[in-house]
Amino acid sequence: MQIRQSAQIPAGGLVVIANREPYAHEWDAAGNVVVQRPASGLVTGIEPILRACGGTWVAHGGGSADRTQTDRMGRLAVPPEAPEYTLRRLWIEEEAYERYYSGFANEGLWPLCHMAHTQPAFRAPDWIAYQAVNETFAHAAIEETGADGLLLIQDYHFALVPKLVRDQAPHVVTSLFWHIPWPNSEAAGICPWKETILEGMLGADIVGFHTRQYCLNFLDTVQRYLECRVDLETMSVTYNGHRTLVRPYPISVEWPYPAATRAEGASLRDAFGIPADAHVSIGVDRADYTKGLVERVAAVELLLEENPSLLGKYVFVQLASPTRTRIPRYQRLADDLKEAVDRVNGRFGTEAWKPIVLQMRTFAPEEVRQYYAMADSALVTPLHDGMNLVAKEYVAACEDGHGALVLSVFAGAAKELEGALLVNPYDTQQVAGTILRAILMPLAERRARMQAMRDQIASHSIYDWSEALLADMTGARQQRGRFWPQRISPSWEHPREVVAG
Ligand code: F6P
């Protein structure tokens, strides 16, 4: 356990609420229950902390066989092979879940916060479901959090939970970490229920973002839409007598990182029939329109068009995990991506060689590490991204220092990884030229750049992230004293309408 004790971790461990569960149980075709790990930067970042500190992760139980593995309260010990903390699954009724998750969170807040030019959809029934599901999660979080509890609320799915918890259980110290960007105040103003969202968030003792810019955008937004006092000196907001700190906590990955060996990477290359001297670029993403996947394929196309000497000598391997597949925009993206890859392979491919290998399925973390080990460079070119942990994972995986990272300036990670080759993902010519630069880069330069990025991650790992956040939460607890009543929830009614039986 590497979390230093400047933060006091409660005896029962931490309580985290996040929509996505770290382990899902699914029925496979043969009728067996199998464990699946989701493709999620949030899970990559938060899970090592709970493994280190113990505690409870409260999440939506979304796996088809999830109910077969829990006790009556929806609890089970995880990781399944060597338990270290508790997962508590909540069963949300299907229609409410669709409206809250696909609707309000992912068709409303997601495009609102990302500058990826997809119009947000705000529908009243989605908003009603979002409020109800937030109540369900707040109720469970209060149940799980002890008298000295620290509650870590994750992401845009739960903007209302901090206030709900504060109203019902004011002794609980809460942080809300927003894993995606926060837009400028004008863009944020599109949301018809912005005041309620902001009031909900300001129930937290701490609101965290990945970058200082997102914090400033948020402060500007609350100043514009609420009667509150913003103090830029201390980065805090006082609203209705309650003070919330607004701070950047750039999320990161485990360090040391459990990298796959070069030999494992080489055997994967063999399995694909890629010659040892070919340059392999890797892309690892959820199949999301914010990730710039179609734009990336267009850049590879231009690269090959302008550099015929690379034909047969360059392969781009893209892992794209299906995500949010019930939302039409995501279905369109999946179709567009396949079409773009077919176009490039049709144009340049031969019997013996395909320039792009597209793998559309979910990958276990161990598998992803083999792909990192096979690659000579990584292409991380989102149109907009809060942080992007793939960029950091790839760097952490490059133990021999050989790899090159092509990184979008619009990913939060670009603020920290100075050794990366930065690109504007909308500029196809620039991305193509930069991939070529990565291919041709002398080994000494690759090593120097990679070393600078590895040093950065070594000194700013996920454990530093949690240490900083927990230290601030401990400070918030000390500041407000321990004078809150132990637990106030007599009038709490369980919001039954969204809880499936
Ligand atoms: O990037 C935002 C985020 O919620 C991450 O925190 C998470 O890794 C990712 O989206 C996964 O999304 P979902 O849980 O919808 O599959």
pLDDT higher than threshold 80 for residue 408: yes
pLDDT higher than threshold 70 for residue 249: yes
The reported pTM is 0.94
Evaluate: CB of 285 within 6 angstroms of ligand 1.
no
* 11 confidence band (pLDDT: 50, 70, 90): confident
- Give the pLDDT confidence score for residue 13 in this predicted structure: 81
Evaluate: CB of 42 within 6 angstroms of ligand 1.
yes
Evaluate: CB of 179 within 6 angstroms of ligand 1.
yes
Of 441, 440, 436, 389, give the one whose Cα is nearest residue 419: 441
Whole-number Å distance, alpha carbon 42 to ligand 1 midpoint, is: 6
Task: Report which secondary-structure segment, H or E, holds 477.
Answer: helix 462-480
With tokens 């030999």, the residue in question is: 263
pLDDT tens digits, one per residue of 159-176: 999 999 999 999 999 999
Lowest mean pLDDT among 60-69, 224-233, 335-344, 486-495: 486-495
Per-chain mean pLDDT for the chain: 93
Which token pair is 236?
């805090």
What is the mean predicted confidence (pLDDT) over 185-195? 98
Whole-number Å distance, alpha carbon 40 to ligand 1 midpoint, is: 5
Q: Which atom of ligand 1 is nearest to the CA of 389?
A: 8
Ramachandran area for residue 477 (φ above 0: left; ψ -120 to 50: alpha; else beta): alpha
Which token pair is 255?
């360090």
What is the mean predicted confidence (pLDDT) over 433-451? 98
pLDDT higher than threshold 60 for residue 234: yes
CA distance 92 to 111: 24
Q: Which of 17, 40, 178, 291 to mutate to test the pocket of ligand 1 (most atoms within 8 A of CB)?
A: 40
Contacts of 250 (CB under 8 A, 6+ apart): 210, 211, 387, 412, 415, 416, 460, 465
Evaluate: CB of 292 within 6 angstroms of ligand 1.
no
- Give the pLDDT confidence score for residue 2 in this predicted structure: 57
Rounded (10°) angle between helices 389-397 and 365-374 = 60
Rounded (10°) angle between helices 41-53 and 389-397 = 70
Tell the residue nearest (CA) to atom 15 of ligand 1: 324
* 81 confidence band (pLDDT: 50, 70, 90): very high
Q: Which of 19, 42, 288 to mutate to test the pocket of ligand 1 (most atoms within 8 A of CB)?
A: 42
Whole-number Å distance, alpha carbon 384 to ligand 1 midpoint, is: 14
DSSP state of 73: T
The larger pLDDT score, comparing residue 479 to residue 256, is at: 256
Evaluate: CB of 103 within 6 angstroms of ligand 1.
no
Evaluate: CB of 345 within 6 angstroms of ligand 1.
no
CA distance 343 to 317: 15
pLDDT tens digits, one per residue of 335-378: 999 999 999 999 999 999 999 999 999 999 999 999 999 999 99
- Give the pLDDT confidence score for residue 497 in this predicted structure: 46
Evaluate: CB of 386 within 6 angstroms of ligand 1.
yes
Tell the residue nearest (CA) to atom 11 of ligand 1: 40
CA distance 454 to 450: 6
Evaluate: CB of 41 within 6 angstroms of ligand 1.
yes
Q: Which atom of ligand 1 is nearest to the CA of 44?
A: 8
Task: Report which secondary-structure segment, H or E, holds 474.
Answer: helix 462-480
Evaluate: CB of 388 within 6 angstroms of ligand 1.
no
* 500 confidence band (pLDDT: 50, 70, 90): low
Evaluate: CB of 324 within 6 angstroms of ligand 1.
yes
What is the mean predicted confidence (pLDDT) over 231-256? 96
- Give the pLDDT confidence score for residue 499 in this predicted structure: 61
pLDDT tens digits, one per residue of 145-155: 977 789 999 99
- Give the pLDDT confidence score for residue 483 in this predicted structure: 44
Whole-number Å distance, alpha carbon 443 to ligand 1 midpoint, is: 35
